[in-house]
Amino acid sequence: MSNWWNKNIRKSKAVKLLIHYPDHRVQTHYVIPKGEYVIIEKKSFMIDKDHVFYDEKNFPTFMFKFDDIQPINVLNNNAKPIKDPVELYTQAESKLMQQFVMGMGGGIDLQTIALVVSIVGLFVMGFGLYTLYNEINKLQDVLGGIINAQS
């Protein structure tokens, strides 16, 4: 409610904070600074006018890492180089697989593994018995020919 109030009603005094977390979440807060600091969720962040930029609605915006009180200077040209596209794709694919496994309940349970092993075992036994049956038929044909020749 406070975010909405500051964003829509008190917008002339409010600033926008983007807080980045290690799991790639970004939380947006609209707050009214008191002095050089703002407090969000029992954490203090410093408002530095040298690191401000303005969003599409002309809000003064500051970007922070979740564990750093200093804002990130997004207008700095000496920022870290952009990652290689292949590395970025690998990270995205890894995160997707992690979310898929977590969506399955944290992993595959023992009963599912036992069921898959049992089905594979049945197929292997069936193939083995089929092959053995063919070999026994061939052996009977050979032995039958030898027995009939001796009689």
- Which residue range(s) make up the domain with 25? 2-65
Mean pLDDT of 69-79: 69
For residue 142, pLDDT beyond 90: no
CB atoms within 10 A of CB 17: 21
- pLDDT, position 52: 84
Q: Between 14 and 89, name the one with better pLDDT.
A: 14
Q: Is residue 13 in some structural domain? A: yes
Q: Is residue 93 in some structural domain? A: no
Q: Is residue 6 in some structural domain? A: yes
| Same domain membership, residue 112 and residue 60 | no
Domain edge (last residue) among 14, 40, 65: 65
CB atoms within 10 A of CB 31: 21
Mean pLDDT of 12-29: 86
Which among 36, 42, 104, 105 is positioned nearest to 71, based on CA atoms? 36
Q: Is residue 87 in some structural domain? A: no
Q: Is residue 44 in some structural domain? A: yes
| Same domain membership, residue 59 and residue 112 | no
> pLDDT (tens digit, 9 = 90+) per residue, 82-132?
555 666 667 777 777 777 766 666 556 788 888 889 999 999 999 999 999
Q: Is residue 76 in some structural domain? A: no
Domain edge (last residue) among 10, 37, 65: 65
Q: Is residue 9 in some structural domain? A: yes
- pLDDT, position 80: 52
Mean pLDDT lowest for which of 5-14, 74-83, 128-137?
74-83
Q: Is residue 12 in some structural domain? A: yes
- pLDDT, position 148: 67
Instruction: Count the domains in the chain.
Output: 2
The percentage of residues in the chain with a pLDDT greater than 70, rounded to a whole number, is 79
Lookup result for tokens 């898929």 = 100
Lookup result for tokens 């599912």 = 112
Mean pLDDT of 69-93: 66
Most confident of 15-19, 53-57, 115-119, 137-141: 115-119
| Same domain membership, residue 58 and residue 112 | no
| Same domain membership, residue 113 and residue 61 | no
Please, which pLDDT band fits residue 11 given cuts at 50, 70 and 90?
Answer: confident
